[in-house]
Amino acid sequence: MSSASTQFRANENGSLYNSIKNRDSAIGGRGNPFLYVSEQNFAPSCKTKIEVSAQNTAGYDRTIKYELPNYGLLNKLYLKVEFGAHTGTATSAKTTQLRQLPVPFTECRIVYQGSTIARISDRYIVARLHTETEGKRLEYLNEMLINVPPKASSFAAAGNHDRDHATADARAQGAQFMYVPLPFWFSESLSRNLDLEVLSDKVYLEVDSRSSGDLWCQTDTVTGPGTLSASLVCYMNELHADERRAFNAVSYKPAGVPLTQLALSTTTHIESNVAYGSSGAIKLNSFSGQVQRLYIWAYVKSLEDAAGVTKNIWKMMPFDKLVLKSSGTEIYKMEHLRDHDEKYLEWFNQNTPFVPAKAALAGDSGEDRANNTGSIFWENLYCINFKEGWGNRGSADGSLNFGALSIPELEYTLSTAGTAATLDKSGLHNAGNVNICIASEQLNLVSYITNANGSTHIRSLTE
């Protein structure tokens, strides 16, 4: 049950709250714009936190369904995952351990009346969050995702919450927890929160979970790797009853003009088994609508297919050139990414909060990254950004209609790295063929339609 009524009642019984709420010194003829111009007075509201259990049995390799609350304005969503305890034999040096950045699902969808309103993929989430998060927040994010931070060799002292998938002893490992942010459109701003209270039907989140083998690696006899259970953590905004009535009266008039919100969805394409060091072109016919950003990276195919501790989908390899074209016309070109180090120019020009550390060669003062066990080369993640700045998702400017492009394609040239004994500037060596992943972030509209009977429903307007 929501705590909103308790919070509002407490405020209304406070003399200071009422003095602040009822004062007129900041408005009208007595108000001084010089003194009060920067003051923001929002409607009476409060924040609540709700944890929602799955409707069906959560587990590996299935679609898990959650019913979202039927009240309030949904602001933030996190998937809380618990992996059950598991134990190994008394002589095991290593047993079952989570892989690097093992996001436990492939896709999440907001569904209303059987229609998908928005979808986001696991790879988009990881790519986006690691280009928008910096400093201590990035450290916390990596801990939330049970990722091994760079230069960390062992977390053995952490006991039952040991997270080093490659070196530490995990013979008797207790339950492990993961918190995955789900950056849907409603998390972008207060004005774009998903209004669950006004809707006439239920809204669901569907999560396509991965198989156990995609998440865990096993090196010795083990009992486990344990169960997977998951719940949703919802951060809500709730309006005071008076404010809610006034808001509904203006925003959801029967047979009136629909209220709309800028939303986003994602599409992910993987070009598989591309020869490392080769050049080619990838057709982008699967992308449509108003695309804001394209995230592009290549990773070693054999490691995605591998078993045991070597399995890894985030060992990213560098490109020499990336060119987005339509009918032969160049729309955006990134070139000299390796020989002139222009990838550093691209990263700097993006004005993203996070700029990755430059890879150090073996023998340099930095970390030896030849094996890339605990490090991820974020500098080998590329983004074609059609918007100004980075966090600007609150406007429709800076997007490209891929559906109206003729023969859109991405031309690429992959770098040719050195041998295992001679590392190149990326700190990597030729490890065989790669998969190229392209994740698009496209705009759409969510429309709140109120019919003549006063029932409100939402629809996604796409192109």
Question: How far, CA to CA in Å, does 314 sit from each of 102, 299, 301, 373?
Answer: 10, 6, 10, 10
Higher per-residue confidence, 210 vs 417: 210
Contact 416, 277 (CB under 8 A): yes
The two domains 1-7+43-251 and 258-463 share their CATH topology (first three levels equal): yes
Confidence grade of residue 90 (pLDDT, cut at 50, 70, 90): very low
Whole-number pLDDT of residue 455 = 95
Asked if pLDDT for residue 344 goes beyond 70, the answer is yes
- Report the share of the chain in percent with pLDDT over 90: 38
Asked if pLDDT for residue 154 goes beyond 50, the answer is no
Query: pTM score, two decimals?
Result: 0.85
Contact 230, 58 (CB under 8 A): yes
Q: What is the mean pLDDT of residues 82-99?
A: 59
Asked if pLDDT for residue 110 goes beyond 80, the answer is yes
Contact 423, 371 (CB under 8 A): no
Which numeric CATH code is attached to 258-463? 2.70.9.20
Confidence grade of residue 398 (pLDDT, cut at 50, 70, 90): confident
Higher per-residue confidence, 134 vs 298: 298
Tell me the C-alpha distance between 84 and 187, whole Å.
30
Whole-number pLDDT of residue 202 = 96
- Mean pLDDT (the chain) is 79
Tell me the C-alpha distance between 238 and 172, whole Å.
44
Asked if pLDDT for residue 161 goes beyond 60, the answer is no
Structural domain boundaries in the chain: 1-7+43-251, 258-463
Tell me the C-alpha distance between 462 and 182, whole Å.
21
Question: Side-chain half-sphere of 56: how many Cα atoms within 13 Å?
Answer: 12
Answer yes or no: CATH 2.70.9.10 is held by domain 1-7+43-251: yes
Confidence grade of residue 169 (pLDDT, cut at 50, 70, 90): very low
Tell me the per-residue pLDDT of 263-284, one tens digit each, with 9 for 90 and over.
999 999 999 999 888 899 999 9
